Amino acid sequence: MSGATTIRPELTQAALEAAPPGRLKDDPILITFGMLKTFGGIRAVDIDHLEIERGTITAIIGPNGAGKTTLFNLLTGFDRPDRGSWRLDGRLLGGLPPHRIARLGMVRTFQLTKSLSRLTVLENMAVAAQTQRGERLERALLRWLWQPEEARVRERAQALLERFGLAHMAGDQAGTLSGGQRKLLEMARALMADPTLVMLDEPTAGVNPALTESLLEHIRDLNAEGVTIVFVEHNMDVVMDISDWVVVMAQGRILTEGPPQEVVANEEVIDAYLGRPRDTADGEEEGDA
Amino acid sequence: MDFDIIFGNAARAGLGPQAAIFALAAIGLNLHFGYAGLLNFGQVGFMMLGAYGTAIVVATWGGSLWLGIPFGLGLCVAFALALGIPTLRLRSDYFAITTIAAAEILRLLIRSSPATDITGGPFGLQAIANSFFDLNFLPDGRFGWGTFSYSSNQLWVMIVAWILVVLCSALVLALIRSPWGRVVRAIREDEDAVLSLGKNTVAYKLQALVIGGVIGGLAGVIDALQQSGVGSENFEPQVTFFAWAALILGGLATTVGPVVGAVLFWFLREGVESFIRELSEQGWLPNALADFLDGAEGAISIVLMGIGLVALMALRPQGIFGRRRSLHLGT
């Protein structure tokens, strides 16, 4: 277990051995310890220990107010925890501003889609590039310094738009896109930033079934290319369909975690989040009668 | 009714140094609000620092004008940083409130009696632009026709001022078309989205604030040069709002909008004022109304301009050059 403590210096040997089954991952890309965030008297997020396995698709589920989005905000630097530490690829992220965390490879999307309305679809993509040094003010006027890179950025953006079926709208202002197309654009834009870990906050919320299918296909493709994916989702069909691992949160804490089939059968999860299927309830009624 | 006089006065104002000064102020505001989404209601503060910085070096410290101008613009940079660093992390409305207050505080400080030794207090500073007018290669005399004419020195200020307007417009256009400008425009749309893509949005907003503020400072420098002096009464909050009016009239987030807006603003303001004065002088107005308007032509002109702007907002909210389509996409 010595390897286990080197990547988790915060944990004692005893704590490691006491970890619940499934908590320790073989090759975790993200490790979180003692993350606490309170709003007034409410413990919005109170997580002792959470690990995300590299290269997997992890779903975070739980009732409204369970702290899923707050956890996203904390991990990506958009909000500060009261205490806690977390590492991306071994690197401590506590105290880093959100743009630094994004540059380290953890890129998020938002529950309410944030398209840059009055920029074109192509500009929405190009702004996510991490390689354009012309974004620095002192080089902005020296066109020859950024022009070659700009051509590469546009080419990459165009290829990604092609893949997400948005290429025909590249020149349109993003504000003219439909809700579903904006979800696609936001995902494509996150990819443009070359992430190693993508955090998707309700990627299929408000998206029609056909487009949901295509979004999921993109998530799978992305994952197949080696990008680790964490997503918050309420649609259990989606969760069962694409996730390798499910983390269930309730009242800021981790209720349980495990492979999807195991989690949906868990009594606690059913009570806290999933509810009982109608026929079981009927059965109880019959029993009472 | 002498339309030559009315039109001559209007054209004189529309092309004169005042219009160029407001065009510069509006170009700075356009970078602030039109492109970066920063609600700056204290542009007059930058103009004041540009003007006073220049004048203090020349009149108070006896230095060269060519040191005074960079000193004034340097004060604008410092003002932008002092304004921006504490407030640009907050929501945009806090920034807006801070700007208007800061500019007014600055004006009151400048005209306060303890500052009199440096700023001239309520008396201002005079005779600062001699080395600027020494460079005037134009012959003496008046240039133009009838009321539409300028003295040699006025024409010299105008030439320099309009060249600066063109240069600053070109600078902003080049910046906005660069990858830097793309990030700045993206921040205007949604700052959190841009943060999530790894851009230090506060740094970009601060840079935009500094550049737009320095352009506003240039407007102040030109103002100090054309009057060869400074006075705090020229930098009341309404100056900021006239610059805003010019910008909105011309169209936000366009290159020519702030310039054409400023020209039109001064053309209309002076034209309407002359028109009312002519009406009274020709006896075309009832006596009671003429008496009422007497001496208030300027104020009435501003009132009519205000009504005109309201009508513009209702009928063409994107301004003259703006794109209506973009307006509906506003977040």
Looking at A150, A176, A202, the residue that finishes a domain is A176
Assess if residue A189 is contained within a domain.
no
Residue B56 predicted with pLDDT over 50: yes
**DSSP character for A205?**
T
**Closest partner CB to B178 (pick from A78, A130, A140):** A140
Are residues B326 and A140, on separate chains, in Cβ contact within 8 Å? no
Identity of the residue numbered B303: V
pLDDT-derived band at A3 (thresholds 50, 70, 90) equals: low
Q: Is the dihedral of CA A157, A160, A161, A167 positive or negative?
A: positive
Whole-angstrom Cα distance, residue A226 to residue A235? 24
| Same domain assignment for residues A257 and A152 | no
| Same domain assignment for residues A238 and A221 | yes
| Same domain assignment for residues A16 and A100 | yes
Residue B97 predicted with pLDDT over 80: yes
Are residues B325 and A141, on separate chains, in Cβ contact within 8 Å? no
**Closest partner CB to A135 (pick from B171, B174, B179):** B179
Q: What average pLDDT does this structure show over B23-44?
A: 97
Distance from A134 to chain B by nearest Cα, in Å? 5
Mean pLDDT check: name the lowest of A59-63, B97-101, B133-137, B278-282.
B278-282
Domain count, chain A: 2
Residue A280 predicted with pLDDT over 60: no
* Residue A214's CATH number: 3.40.50.300
Residue A285 predicted with pLDDT over 70: no
Whole-angstrom Cα distance, residue A246 to residue A230? 10
Q: B17-29 vs B3-15: helix axis angle to the nearest 10?
A: 50
Q: What average pLDDT does this structure show over B130-152?
A: 91
Question: Exposed/middle/buried for B184, CB within 10 Å: 0-12, 13-18, 19+?
Answer: buried
| Same domain assignment for residues A86 and A154 | no
| Same domain assignment for residues A130 and A86 | no
| Same domain assignment for residues A31 and A159 | no
Q: Is B194 in a helix, a strand, or coil?
A: helix
pLDDT-derived band at A284 (thresholds 50, 70, 90) equals: very low
Residue A201 predicted with pLDDT over 70: yes
Whole-angstrom Cα distance, residue B229 to residue A150? 47
Residue B330 predicted with pLDDT over 90: no
Q: Is B311 in a helix, a strand, or coil?
A: helix
Asked whether the beta carbons of B217 and B49 are under 8 A apart, the reply is yes
Are residues A134 and B328, on separate chains, in Cβ contact within 8 Å? no
Go through B200-237 and write b for each residue having 16 or more CB atoms within 10 A of its CB, e for each that does not: bbbebbbbbbbbbbbbbbbbbbbbbbbbbbbbbebbeb
Residue A232 predicted with pLDDT over 70: yes
| Same domain assignment for residues A57 and A86 | yes
Q: What average pLDDT does this structure show over A85-102?
A: 95
Among A132, A133, A77, A80, residue whose Cα is nearest residue A105 = A77
Assess if residue A187 is contained within a domain.
no
Residue-wise pLDDT for A130-185, tens only, equals 999 999 999 999 999 999 999 999 999 999 999 999 999 999 999 999 999 999 99
| Same domain assignment for residues A27 and A79 | yes
Q: What average pLDDT does this structure show over A249-274?
A: 91
| Same domain assignment for residues A15 and A104 | yes
Go through A214-248 and write b for each residue having 16 or more CB atoms within 10 A of its CB, e for each that does not: ebbebbeebbeeebbbbbbbebeebbebbbebbbb
Full domain range(s) for residue A209: 9-115+194-288
* Per-residue pLDDT at B1: 67
Q: Is A194 in a helix, a strand, or coil?
A: coil
Assess if residue A16 is contained within a domain.
yes
- Segment holding A212, helix H or strand E: helix A209-224
* Per-residue pLDDT at A278: 65
Asked whether the beta carbons of B71 and B57 are under 8 A apart, the reply is yes
- All domains of chain B in start order, with CATH: 3-324 (1.10.3470)
Whole-angstrom Cα distance, residue B193 to residue A111? 12
pLDDT-derived band at B66 (thresholds 50, 70, 90) equals: very high
- How are beta strands A228-232 and A197-201 bridged, if at all? parallel
| Same domain assignment for residues A90 and A159 | no
Helix residue ranges per DSSP H, B16-64: 17-29, 43-55
What residues in A contact B331, CB-CB < 8 Å? 117, 175
- The residue among A93, A109, A118 with the most chain B CBs within 10 A of its CB, best to mutate, is A118
Which residues, in sequence order, are CB contacts of A83 under 8 Å at separation 6+? A34, A35, A36
pLDDT-derived band at A271 (thresholds 50, 70, 90) equals: confident
Assess if residue A186 is contained within a domain.
no
Residue-wise pLDDT for A37-73, tens only, equals 999 989 999 999 999 999 999 999 999 999 999 999 9
* Per-residue pLDDT at A286: 43
Assess if residue A182 is contained within a domain.
no
Mean pLDDT check: name the lowest of A274-283, B89-98, B183-192.
A274-283
| Same domain assignment for residues A172 and A99 | no
- Percent over 90 (pLDDT), chain A: 76
Looking at A176, A202, A220, the residue that finishes a domain is A176
Are residues A135 and B199, on separate chains, in Cβ contact within 8 Å? yes
Assess if residue A185 is contained within a domain.
no
Whole-angstrom Cα distance, residue B198 to residue B194? 7
